[in-house]
Structure 1
Amino acid sequence: EAILEMKDFKDLYFPSRDMNIKIVIKKRIKKGYRLKEIDLHLRRSRTILESRLIHEAKKYIRTPTIFEIDRDECYIVMEYVEGERVKELLEKVNSEKREEICLKIGNMVGKLHKNGIIHGDLTTSNMIYRLNEIYLIDFGLGEFSREIEKQGVDMHLLKEALQSTHYKYFLEDFETVMKGYAYIVGNEKKKEILKRINEIEKRGRYVQRDSLYNK
């Protein structure tokens, strides 16, 4: 769990300069129920991992710029990406623009997966549209992995997010996302991911059915 605080870049680093840059300080909070040493280790490791993920992802897609990492206090100082959340944007654009955005989303996820990066919380709430580009934020649940299962889970989460938030256009939007994904990873990989998503959904239905029977 983390808290976010927004500040002006100049107030933190260059008080005497006239700079109009917003930053976000993301700090992982202490958990009183954990042993102090374990708590610090967990918060520090997640802070370092998230900063590494953002830094590595930036080679391939748009992410916030990181200005500072404090391993002892467990916080990251990064750029505040001003723009519109894709969650709201998809609800008001025309079909042509929605297709363009969904293709960009698929391209973006494809680039991450191709380079061994799992985001862990792929929702349109974590995508910011700015100057015709999509920025991906909040890698707090991410990891480095090339496992097809983890890539499938990543994409399954995105599918669920589209279905629950953008249900009117869900089928065509997800199909377009997968089209953009295939542009990067290829059709065979796309088929693998769709097959894994189907398996994940089946497992979910079995769990739901068993829980109903066991009540």
Structure 2
Amino acid sequence: MYLARGAEAVVILEESRVIKERIPKNYRLQDIDERIRKERTRAEARLISEARRGGVPTPIIYDIQDFRIEMQYIEGSPLKHVMDEEMSKKVGHLVGRLHSIGIIHGDLTTSNMIFSNDIIYLIDFGLAYMDSSLEAQGVDVHVLFQTFESTHSEHEKLIASFSLGYRESFVSADDVIERVKEIEKRGRYA
């Protein structure tokens, strides 16, 4: 069963497992395209596993082949459909853990979080990378705050709740929150 198609990959459900397969880009030379897709596939699987080892709920990786990752299907609701202040605080905890181990998700949205059995799972690490810089962490959180603003009417409360959870789980949270404010100002005047 087809689940999603993005710019980089197709995601299908096959025998209760998610298969994410990176699609070829015809504008690239075939050898280069294959190398890039293999590298990105391996990197994504590695970061999903690293996040899980760091205490962030993610799907279990079952297999990796050239351009495809076979992983656990998380039965649940996208967080955007059940988001409230309590959930936002939990997301703050998760993102704090993620940033504590040096992982930037790269696409922190409530669509890339699944709520299942009272657990929030982070999914889709296709844009994730390792970086412990304040700027990278600030951009990661800024993307999430923009999602709150564009999809949730109570976004100020969600941001405040996220910030509480983030501060509880990440020692540099205050610096990151300040950087998010700087990033917002840059966007307004650009």
- The aligned runs of 1:202-213 (5 Å cut-off) are 202-207=185-190
Partner Cα distance (2:99, 2:180) in 1: 15
TM-score (normalised: structure 1): 0.83
- The aligned runs of 1:194-205 (5 Å cut-off) are 194-205=177-188
TM-score (normalised: structure 2): 0.93
Q: Residues 99-147 of structure 1: CA distance to partner in whole angstroms, max 9, x if unpaired?
A: 3211110000000000101100000001111111100100000001111
Name the structure 2 match of 1:37. Answer: 31
Quick check: which has more Rg, 1 or 2?
1
Matched, 1:140 2:134: no
- Aligned pair count? 182
Partner Cα distance (1:142, 1:198) in 2: 22
| Matched residue SS, 2:154 | helix
Tell me by how many angstroms 1:190 deviates: 2.1
| Residue among 79, 84, 109 paired with 1:123 | 109
Matched, 1:4 2:32: no
Matched, 1:104 2:90: yes
What letter matches 1:202 in structure 2? K
Partner Cα distance (2:174, 2:100) in 1: 15
Q: Residues 62-85 of structure 1: CA distance to partner in whole angstroms, max 9, x if unpaired?
A: 1001110002xx100011110011
Name the structure 2 match of 1:66. Answer: 61
Partner Cα distance (1:25, 1:149) in 2: 32
Partner Cα distance (1:118, 1:23) in 2: 25
| Matched residue SS, 1:4 | strand
What letter matches 1:66 in structure 2? I
Partner Cα distance (2:118, 2:100) in 1: 23
Name the structure 2 match of 1:179. Answer: 164
Matched, 1:193 2:179: no
Q: Which consecutive residues of structure 1, in runs of 5 or more, have no partner in the other structure?
A: 9-21, 91-97, 208-215
Partner Cα distance (2:98, 2:174) in 1: 17
TM-align CA RMSD: 0.9
What letter matches 1:109 in structure 2? V
Tell me by how many angstroms 1:176 deviates: 0.5
Identity of aligned residues (%): 45
